[in-house]
Structure 1
Amino acid sequence: MIPAQRRDLLLRELRGTGVLSVRELCEILDVSHMTVRRDIMTLEEEGKVRSVPGGVELASQVRSEPSYRDKSRVDLAEKRAMAHAAAELVGQGQTVYLDAGTTLGQLVPLLWHVTGLTVITNDLTTAASLTDHPDVTLYLVGGQIDRENRSSIGDIAADMVAEFNIDVAFVSTSSWDLHRGSTTPSRSKVAVKRAAMAAASSSVLVAGADKYGAFGTFKVAPLTGFTSVITDDRLPDASARAVRELGVPLEVVTPRRESGGDDEADSEEASTASA
């Protein structure tokens, strides 16, 4: 088989099973481990599959997002580790945009010691948490309220964000991949995210590895549109290499847990490995 035929067969097999190991694909396609890896990388670049440890699965479309309450209960170790990495990019006296989401919500307590800070956010929970900060100028972005995600969305919110000069915009996402970049199932969120990126000197995508390889209906920005990307160590090595080969600085963080690690442990620290 020529490579195109082999990749078509790979996709047909995946549609039947959802996920396959590299070993299984070597047997099905009767090719080497290296050939299968090259095929996976090509299909991943096309946005058709995503790597998982030891194998590959079909890229999935995100049609809706979990509620804020549901998101706040999962992957806390990874979210805290990403927040620690993001906090390293914030300096005294800066103007920072915090996009809506539970990962960036973990950044709030890490900003408490930063003086002269101006924070702009469309996240209602983040704004409430920063209300009592002794030395922060806080702007809550107005607009239509997304009750499920506790945030403001739409053109009115985007217009307000566009009025600022922002040093660093931290942008969240429900899905991201090599081919499509950051995407969302909600058109009303696109304008706000793009406005923050356009107003900022640097834009940082803070995105859990569990969201990599999925895609939403609406495009926010290609990965090359971000100054850098912060994710966690569940991202497969092949996917991390592919992102870096785009020329996008990628920081992969590793949560550090105590023995018998508990995502709820307040004493958790994070170590990072950067490109």
Structure 2
Amino acid sequence: MSSEEDTTISGAAPMIPDQRRELMLRQLRKHQVLSVHQLMEMFDCSHMTVRRDIALLEQSGRAYSVTGGVRIASQVHSEPSHQSKAVVELPHKQAMARLAAGLLHPEMTVYLDAGTSTLEIVPHIIALSGMTVVTNDFGVVNALAEATHVDVIHTGGMLDHPNRSCVGGLAAATLRHLATDVAFMSTSSWDLQRGTTTPSALKVEVKQAAMEAASRCVLLTTSSKYGTFGMYKVAGLEQFDTIISDEGLAQAAAESIRAHGVELLLASVEKNR
């Protein structure tokens, strides 16, 4: 038997592995998520062959492994509002923020990108002395309003009403006049092939300016966003010094990220409850 099996589907003629993977993608576009067992039955092939195909599709950024199966890479056309994001995956965000706190020390200048994950870092900043926070997020400003020992700089710029943050050229211009020790960046979508992306063109310039102004860049994002992508690219994953996510990230994805030389920290929600 060859290293990759020739397979059939619905009585079709035998096919080469590339054809099989293209048909797998066609089925995934139809169903979004399929289990390994379903694919074994569809293509009359072994568990090892299906897993090998999934790994190759993942390498090309077209599909991503999930527990027991695979899902199609999906495009994000819009971002949820601040209000809707605030109640989603809160334990994951709090656990990630605790890992992020390990990168902080007194007398730092920190950039907090707009987002509900970065917002969870605020209590850890308040616990330190001599801190300065730069942000484009009004939620962060509000959370620091009573913390008079923390200096706060808001970027200004065009208001993104649903996300309660500022975007556009004016916000980016402010950041180009500043230097920060660390930038904690958020994203609505990410993967190894496309990096961090967004459906909002106005966010790109701000995010890139924040990263350029920082001595260290840290991506803070939940695993549920991995394998999704927006129209506009912000940065490749290799441009981040550290990525903080949660243990829900597929093992194959984690191994690939680390193989590219990026430090990856995965927060355990169970241990941090």
TM-score (norm 1): 0.91
Equivalent AA in structure 2 for residue 165 of structure 1: A
Please state how far the C-alpha of 1:32 moved relative to its aligned partner: 2.6
Equivalent AA in structure 2 for residue 48 of structure 1: R
Look up the match of 2:100: 86
Number of equivalent positions: 259
Equivalent AA in structure 1 for residue 82 of structure 2: Y
Please state how far the C-alpha of 1:3 moved relative to its aligned partner: 2.6
Which of 148, 172, 175 is residue 161 of structure 1 equivalent to? 175
Look up the match of 1:76: 90
Equivalent AA in structure 1 for residue 63 of structure 2: V
Larger radius of gyration: 2
Secondary structure at 2:182 match in 1: strand
Q: Is residue 94–residue 167 contact of structure 1 (8 Å, CA) maintained in 2?
A: yes
Please state how far the C-alpha of 1:90 moved relative to its aligned partner: 1.0
CA shift digits 1:69-107 (9 cap, x unpaired): 011011110010011111111111111100000111111
CA shift digits 1:102-146 (9 cap, x unpaired): 111111112111111111000001011112213211101110000
Equivalent AA in structure 2 for residue 181 of structure 1: G
Deviates more, 1:192-201 or 1:237-246: 237-246
Please state how far the C-alpha of 1:167 moved relative to its aligned partner: 0.8
Please state how far the C-alpha of 1:225 moved relative to its aligned partner: 0.9
CA shift digits 1:25-60 (9 cap, x unpaired): 123233332222222122122221122111011111
Secondary structure at 1:80 match in 2: helix
**1:11 lines up with 2:25 in the alignment:** yes
Which of 159, 172, 187 is residue 173 of structure 1 equivalent to? 187
Secondary structure at 1:252 match in 2: strand
Q: Is residue 23–residue 33 contact of structure 1 (8 Å, CA) maintained in 2?
A: yes
Please state how far the C-alpha of 1:240 moved relative to its aligned partner: 1.2
Look up the match of 1:140: 154
Look up the match of 2:5: none
Distance 2:138 2:167 in 1: 11
Distance 1:256 1:110 in 2: 20
Which of 117, 123, 127 is residue 137 of structure 2 equivalent to? 123
TM-score (norm 2): 0.91
CA shift digits 1:152-200 (9 cap, x unpaired): 0001101101111111000000000111010000000001110111111
Q: Is residue 210–residue 234 contact of structure 1 (8 Å, CA) maintained in 2?
A: yes
Equivalent AA in structure 2 for residue 95 of structure 1: T
Look up the match of 1:197: 211
Distance 1:23 1:256 in 2: 29
Runs (5+) with no aligned partner, structure 2: 1-14
Which of 239, 248, 262 is residue 234 of structure 1 equivalent to? 248
RMSD of aligned alpha carbons = 1.3
Q: Is residue 183–residue 217 contact of structure 1 (8 Å, CA) maintained in 2?
A: yes
Equivalent AA in structure 1 for residue 94 of structure 2: R
Secondary structure at 2:171 match in 1: helix
Q: Is residue 44–residue 178 contact of structure 1 (8 Å, CA) maintained in 2?
A: no
Secondary structure at 1:201 match in 2: strand
Distance 1:37 1:222 in 2: 26
Look up the match of 1:260: none
Structure 1 runs of 4+ with >3 Å offset: none
Secondary structure at 1:65 match in 2: coil
Equivalent AA in structure 1 for residue 234 of structure 2: V
Look up the match of 1:53: 67
Distance 1:26 1:6 in 2: 11
**1:41 lines up with 2:55 in the alignment:** yes
Please state how far the C-alpha of 1:14 moved relative to its aligned partner: 1.2
Runs (5+) with no aligned partner, structure 1: 258-268, 271-275
Deviates more, 1:23-32 or 1:113-122: 23-32
Select the structure with the greater relative contact order (CA < 8 A; seq sep ≥ 6): 1
